[in-house]
Amino acid sequence: MKLPPKRLITAIISLCVIIGGTYVAIQFGKGYRPTKDGMIKGTGLLAANSFPTGAEVYINDKLTTATDDTLNLTPGSYQVAIKKDGYLPWQKALLIQEELVSQTNATLFKAAPGLSPLTLAGALNITPSPDGQKIAFAVTVASSAAKNGLYILDMTSSTPLSQIKEPRQIARNTEAIDFSQNILVWSPDSTQLLAYAPEANDQFSAYLLPIANLTEPANLRDISVQLPVILAGWEEEIAIRETKQFAKLPLELQVIATQSATNVYFSPNDERVMYTSTGSATIRPNLIQTPPATNTQPEERQLSPGTIYVYDLIEDKNFLIGSTPKDELKPQKQLIILDSNQQLITIADRNPITPTPTAISDFMSLQDPNSFPQTATNFNTHYSSIYTSTFQWYPNSTHLIHHQDAGIEILEYDGQNLITVYSGPINDDFVYPWPDGKSLIILTNFNPSSALPENLYAIAIR
């Protein structure tokens, strides 16, 4: 059946309009805009977003818009600053590329952080849990002897700081046991706490405490005979978890991380890895397929000994973030991963790493038969970089916490936007993030001339 000429012409015109409109919409979405000269040029998109929102956006020192907003910009380099009253400014040089979207993802931190006490009777022997949700500590100067002992501070992410419950006691001190003098080690799943009590003549006792309830002194059981087996089981859990993490790395990074680096720590979302180079090496470009729009900050793929880097597993970027002080005497993290031949290894070959189980008796590499303090250190270094470095991951996986003499700094994983969020007194170099990232926990005494013990405080930075 033939269409009448007028209807055929109308159909053809409609089809052309639809195709033309679709093409124009696609090109507009890609950032193409008409210029004053009548030409069509490609632009890039700047997605100016911040946490919290409602901040002023300055582009090349000119107030342009407020967050959150998306702007079309001519490709090129721009100095972008995001400012909000009561918060420290965010600023970064951003490269806008044709047809691509660049996001600021600016996390703003308070200019005047608030302080809240978390403990009132002191805090000794502070030991964070592997999941980052709890902190164990001992008390020795409570109002009554029954309150002296071991406590757990719960830091559930969804709980506002103002509603945090008081720390829970999980064990009481006795005449024979002072938990402030014990060596504490968490289980990898953060459900149990091992208390190692040194005794005279190289003897010791060990107690495995559940953290969900209070264990009365009469119910304490010495598990020192079972200790090697318990620790071997924990080491197996660590090895399987870390092997799965390392399997995500490109093969070349697996080799570097196991042969030319130490203190390797994955971000909470496993998309980035922080490490300290122990030798000179070069990371080749294009190790993985990357998304079209990636971080445009300058990276460093030529590694130098003693330098700390962050590698992005999604964008194949390697950023320099700092260096290890020459006089720093912190312990180092000893790798325990499984190779493709089902063997527990501390130095990998060039075969891809795969998570394969092996015999429980093989998991003894973290145990030092002559020194339980060293054994505890070996385990703790696998739980947090707080034991090995002045850098540690911030919970959002896009920032790092850096503690030095000048105070507590926070920087982005690409080494940019370094800011000082706290410069007051800190004892024992203890700085630890609240799981939701809104606060940092420190140990300090704001009245050092008194005999009052040091306490844990939360610094509200967001």
Picking from 198, 401, 193, 436, the residue whose alpha carbon sits closest to that of residue 310 is 401
Tell me the C-alpha distance between 154 and 163, whole Å: 11
In this predicted model, what pLDDT tens digit does every residue of 290-313 receive, in sequence order?
A: 999 999 999 999 999 999 999 999
**Is the domain defined by 47-107 classed in CATH 2.40.30.10?**
no
Q: What is the pLDDT of residue 451?
A: 77
Any residues with CB less than 8 A from the CB of 76 and at least 6 apart, and which? 95, 96
What is the phi/psi pair of residue 295, to 5°? -60, 130
Report yes or no: 320 and 309 within 8 Å, Cβ to Cβ: yes
Tell me the C-alpha distance between 45 and 68, whole Å: 13
Q: How many CB atoms lie within 10 A of CB 47?
A: 15
Report yes or no: 138 and 198 within 8 Å, Cβ to Cβ: no
Tell me the C-alpha distance between 126 and 135, whole Å: 7
Tell me the C-alpha distance between 88 and 109, whole Å: 6
Report yes or no: 140 and 173 within 8 Å, Cβ to Cβ: yes
What are the start and end residues of each CATH 2.60.40.1120 domain in the chain? 47-107
List C-alpha distances in Å: 458 to 59, 63, 155. 35, 35, 11
Report yes or no: 56 and 84 within 8 Å, Cβ to Cβ: yes
Residue with tokens 């956006």: 57
**Where are the strands (E) in 2-87, listed by range?**
33-34, 40-41, 44-48, 50-51, 56-59, 62-66, 69-73, 76-83
Res 377 pLDDT > 80: yes
Name the pLDDT band for 328 (thresholds 50, 70, 90). Answer: low
Name the pLDDT band for 406 (thresholds 50, 70, 90). Answer: confident
Residue with tokens 């005999």: 451
Residue type, 236: E
Q: What is the pLDDT of residue 283?
A: 96
List C-alpha distances in Å: 377 to 61, 83, 373, 381. 49, 42, 6, 6
Q: What is the pLDDT of residue 373?
A: 93
Global pTM reads 0.87
In this predicted model, what pLDDT tens digit does every residue of 217-252 receive, in sequence order?
A: 999 999 999 999 999 999 999 999 999 999 999 999
Segment of 33-42, 128-137, 358-367, 444-453 carrying the highest mean pLDDT: 128-137
Res 95 pLDDT > 80: yes
Structure tokens at 52: 């919290």
In this predicted model, what pLDDT tens digit does every residue of 247-295 receive, in sequence order?
A: 999 999 999 988 899 999 999 999 999 999 999 999 999 999 999 999 9
Q: What is the pLDDT of residue 192?
A: 98
Q: What is the pLDDT of residue 349?
A: 40
Tell me the C-alpha distance between 376 and 368, whole Å: 9
Residue with tokens 């397929």: 289
The whole-number average pLDDT for the span 185-189 is 98
Residue with tokens 């001339």: 449
Q: What is the pLDDT of residue 363?
A: 78
Tell me the C-alpha distance between 7 and 3, whole Å: 6
Peptide bond into 52 cis (omega under 30): yes
Tell me the C-alpha distance between 412 and 186, whole Å: 29
% of the chain residues with pLDDT over 70: 84
Any residues with CB less than 8 A from the CB of 132 and at least 6 apart, and which? 155, 268, 384, 395, 433, 435
